[in-house]
Amino acid sequence: MRRISFRRTTGCLVLVIAVFAAVAAGVGMFGSGGPGPWEHVSVRGETVRIFGRGVYQHMSEDVAPQGIAQDVVTFFIAVPLLLRAYLRAGDGSAGRKLFLAGTLLYFLVTYTFYLAMGTYSALFPVYVLLAGTSAFAFGLALADLSFDEVRTAYAGEKIHKVSGVFLLFSSCSVIALWLGVIVPPLLDGSVIPKAVEHYTTLIVQGFDLAFLLPLSLVAGVQLIRRVPFGLLLGAVYLVFLSFLMTALTAKVLAMAFLGQNVVPVIFLIPSQAAVTVVCAYLLLRAFGGKR
């Protein structure tokens, strides 16, 4: 009886997330209005070109199109797969439950970032709702998994090692990239990186370095060791990372479309995204959770 009630609660949360994420992403993609592009001088004296259109009108011309690109991925890929993941997780397969947890982690991270980084707009209450419901749904999805279940279901031979090594390599690469943004200004005395623009701080780099990248490193090490905790965390993280890298690929393409220099990331990000998706797919297959 508890299991039925538990699944219904998760289903209600998933439905709320799907509906409101579709609304938020739709408004982000198609919202209009605003004065158009203009220049703003930040409190640090930096002149920043502002996007000036739609729900992201107060964000910079570099960042706003990336938000729209992620909205495209959320609307057309993440929301449909979330609904499908919930419906298919009902068969009790460990692989499918892991896929659902990883998909929910994408929504949790995405709208936590939107809350912290997006300039205030009419969608703020929607972002609050999405971050909260995603957090609870993700917790319920994890609670529906056990280490014994994961250990028993896993039948892979080498994919956990390959996936673990990839997570370590990917994490270390991003750590080096973000430190390359943060450390030089500290050394030359300018302190504030240009990437801060007119925002208060580096939200993406801060959250990545504090939470996501350490989690990825732990997942990679434990996945290589094939311990139940590592199998669970590694699979969930790879599913989440598959969505995130797809969104990053969309962001790079949006920047290229706007005429920005995206070499060499135009080659690196899509390649890394493809490897992430393949690793996630093969790892889930090893749990009997073919997507």
Q: What is the pLDDT of residues 122-165, one digit of tens each?
A: 999 999 999 999 999 999 999 999 999 999 999 998 999 999 99
* pLDDT at residue 290, as a whole number: 45
For 257-266, what is each residue's pLDDT tens digit? 888 888 888 8
CA angle centred on 84, ends 12 and 218, rounded to 5° = 90
pLDDT at 43 over 50: yes
Give the three-class secondary structure for 256. Answer: helix
Q: Does any domain span residue 151?
A: yes
Tell me the average pLDDT across 173-180: 96
Q: Is residue 2 very low, low, confident or very high in pLDDT (cuts 50, 70, 90)?
A: very low
Q: Does any domain span residue 194?
A: yes
Q: What percent of the chain has pLDDT over 90?
A: 86
For 225-279, what is each residue's pLDDT tens digit? 999 999 999 999 999 999 999 999 999 999 998 888 888 888 999 999 999 999 9
Q: Does any domain span residue 291?
A: no
pTM more than 0.85: yes
Structural domain span for residue 16: 2-286
Q: Does any domain span residue 47?
A: yes
Structure tokens given for 165? 């090594």
Q: Does any domain span residue 94?
A: yes
* Tokens 């390959």 sit on residue: 162
For 95-118, what is each residue's pLDDT tens digit? 999 999 999 999 999 999 999 998
Instruction: Tell me how far apart the alpha carbons of residues 103 and 75 are, in angstroms, rounded to a whole number.
Output: 13
Counted domains in the chain: 1
Q: Does any domain span residue 175?
A: yes
Average pLDDT in the chain? 93
Q: Does any domain span residue 168?
A: yes
Q: Does any domain span residue 195?
A: yes
* pLDDT at residue 162, as a whole number: 97
For the chain, the distance separating the N- and C-terminal CA atoms, rounded to the nearest angstrom, is 28
* pLDDT at residue 4, as a whole number: 44
* Tokens 């739709």 sit on residue: 26
**Main-chain phi, psi angles of 39, to 5 degrees:** -105, 140
Structure tokens given for 46? 């930096």
Tell me the C-alpha to C-alpha distance, in Å, between residue 197 and each of 34, 39, 44, 67. Answer: 20, 12, 9, 16
